[in-house]
Amino acid sequence: DTGVSQNPRHKITKRGQNVTFRCDPISEHNRLYWYRQTLGQGPEFLTYFQNEAQLEKSRLLSDRFSAERPKGSFSTLEIQRTEQGDSAMYLCASSSGGRTSYEQYFGPGTRLTVT
Amino acid sequence: EDQVTQSPEALRLQEGESSSLNCSYTVSGLRGLFWYRQDPGKGPEFLFTLYSAGEEKEKERLKATLTKKESFLHITAPKPEDSATYLCAVQAYNTDKLIFGTGTRLQVFP
């Protein structure tokens, strides 16, 4: 039973460049979540999908951020025209949903550094 | 506005010295309260879910309890390997998102 995987684990980019991260959820999970975490803070919710439908987006998610889950399996998070304030750990989580199981299981994260 | 506050921010314990971490919350209709452990540079690791006041869950040296306004994570006879940041999060009925506190950094010294 493999857990949530994320790629790449680390990304260094220059300000103004576009970056894309990938998340592969636990295979039987139909819900997938993206969070962002900065040093000394708890994770902040960005968006989530049920299957391929994007059901909720945070007000934190500016127009430069876009997420997709085209076939209801893996998901990508793209940041366009990166800014130094985008430097953070980007975490992906998945859950099976349903009435008895709301736990979200997190991947190892992608650490983004914008120079 | 839904909110989670954790205290203390940091806690240093001697090995074997039991203590408790606090998570206070305000949420419009609590579906569940979640505890996670996070090691440096890694993603949060799920520990417990609590759904109703009075509920308790245990795992090894950890025990989580829930009231209508707060949750406690009790650590009994901690070991150095329990050193980590412990995060508390709440989920409301009308959403799937988790709202996290800033965590408690626990250090256990031998």
Chunked into runs of 10 residues, chain A (115 residues) has average pLDDT values of 91 98 94 96 96 92 93 94 97 84 93 98
- Residue B25: other Cβ atoms inside 10 A: 21
Residues from chain A contacting residue B42 (CB–CB below 8 Å): 108-109
Give residue-wise pLDDT tens across range B39-89.
999 999 999 999 999 999 999 999 999 999 999 999 999 999 999 999 999
Residues from B in contact with A at Cβ < 8 Å: 4, 31-32, 34, 36, 41-46, 49, 87, 89, 91, 95-103
The whole-angstrom distance between B55's CA and the closest CA on chain A is 15
Beta-strand runs (E) in chain B: 3-7, 10-14, 19-26, 30-38, 45-50, 56-59, 62-66, 70-75, 84-92, 99-100, 104-109
| Cβ separation A106–B34 shorter than 8 A | no
Confidence bin at B17 (pLDDT 50/70/90) = very high
Whether A104 sits inside 8 A of B41 (CB atoms) is no
Between chains, do A109 and B42 touch, taking CB under 8 Å as contact? yes
Q: Would the CA dihedral through A105, A111, A114, B4 be positive or negative?
A: positive
